[in-house]
């Protein structure tokens, strides 16, 4: 057994995705796609063991699994496209490219320093929560939590199908949506920062005599966010004060990707900082 510790630099194939043919079933010859740049991955797998106590002893008689295992993957990345994020944002009923479809995620690492790659695969994945955001002068970033039906024991057995090469296009920058990439109620505003979060409130349905979910279903979709703007007029405070709904359109990259939110309302004025030595910004929660 190798005693060589490993680091993240030994990841051979970064986390990639493919749409499943049905829940938890990977295509027989999958063609994986890259998710993004700089993809730190955090995997968790609580087994939900509970002690069964016994009379006359301070120690449990047995550790028994009371619920299904809850596999989860947390990752952050800088996007160069948005297909993965669409599985979090798009409404039910749209078929491919929406929460209707589950994903298989896969990656490999040179465990113990190599030379053989160890492959990790997560089956029956759906996005529980996804946040996309950016600031003027900086890159777009995405943070997401993924719930998985099953993560089998990693193996050196080569996975079928093909993995994508490293992306050649550059990560999205906030400025690539234009000088004023965000409109509120059809009017462009000088936005300094924006963050939008979608929560799909997934429900993991158990199955008899199994420690994995039968299926993972989306329930209600909740979209929230924050936005910071240069304070030039009272339009947005008026929307807040009078509880006026609006549409928000964020051009993430001109001609490539746009995020459109309808039926929005400002929930909170978070701040208007009036300082004589600074530009005044207004910040709202959506």
Q: What is the pLDDT of residue 1?
A: 47
pLDDT > 70? residue 223: yes
Pick from 222, 227, 201: nearest CA to 284: 227
Give tens-digit pLDDT for 111-155: 877 788 999 999 999 999 999 999 999 999 999 999 999 999 999
Show me where the domains of the chain are located.
8-49+62-285
pTM for this entry: 0.89
């Amino acid at each position: 057994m190798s005693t060589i510790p490993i680091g993240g630099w030994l990841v051979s194939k970064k986390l990639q995705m493919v749409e499943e043919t049905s829940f938890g079933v990977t295509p027989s010859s999958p063609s994986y796609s890259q998710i993004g740049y700089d993809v730190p991955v955090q995997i968790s797998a609580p087994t939900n063991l509970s002690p069964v106590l016994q009379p006359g002893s301070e120690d449990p008689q047995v550790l028994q699994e009371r619920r299904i295992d809850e596999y989860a993957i947390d990752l952050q990345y800088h996007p160069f496209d948005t297909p993965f994020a669409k599985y979090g944002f798009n409404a039910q009923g749209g078929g491919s490219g929406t929460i209707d479809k589950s994903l298989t995620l896969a990656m490999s690492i040179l465990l113990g320093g190599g030379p053989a790659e160890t492959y990790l695969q997560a089956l029956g994945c759906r996005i529980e929560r996804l946040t996309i955001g950016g600031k003027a002068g900086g890159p777009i970033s995405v943070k997401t939590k993924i719930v998985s039906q099953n993560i089998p024991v990693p193996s050196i057995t080569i996975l079928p199908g093909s993995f994508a090469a490293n992306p050649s296009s550059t990560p999205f920058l906030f400025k690539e949506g234009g000088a004023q990439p965000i409109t509120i109620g059809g009017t462009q505003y000088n936005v300094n920062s924006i963050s939008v979060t979608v929560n799909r409130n997934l429900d993991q349905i158990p199955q008899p005599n199994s420690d994995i979910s039968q299926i993972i279903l989306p329930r209600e979709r909740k979209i929230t966010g924050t936005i910071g703007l240069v304070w030039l007029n009272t339009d947005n405070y008026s929307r807040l004060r009078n509880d006026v709904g609006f549409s928000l359109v964020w051009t993430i990259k001109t001609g490539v990707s746009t995020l459109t939110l309808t039926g929005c309302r400002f929930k909170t004025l978070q701040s208007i900082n009036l300082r004589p030595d600074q530009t005044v910004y207004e910040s709202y929660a959506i």
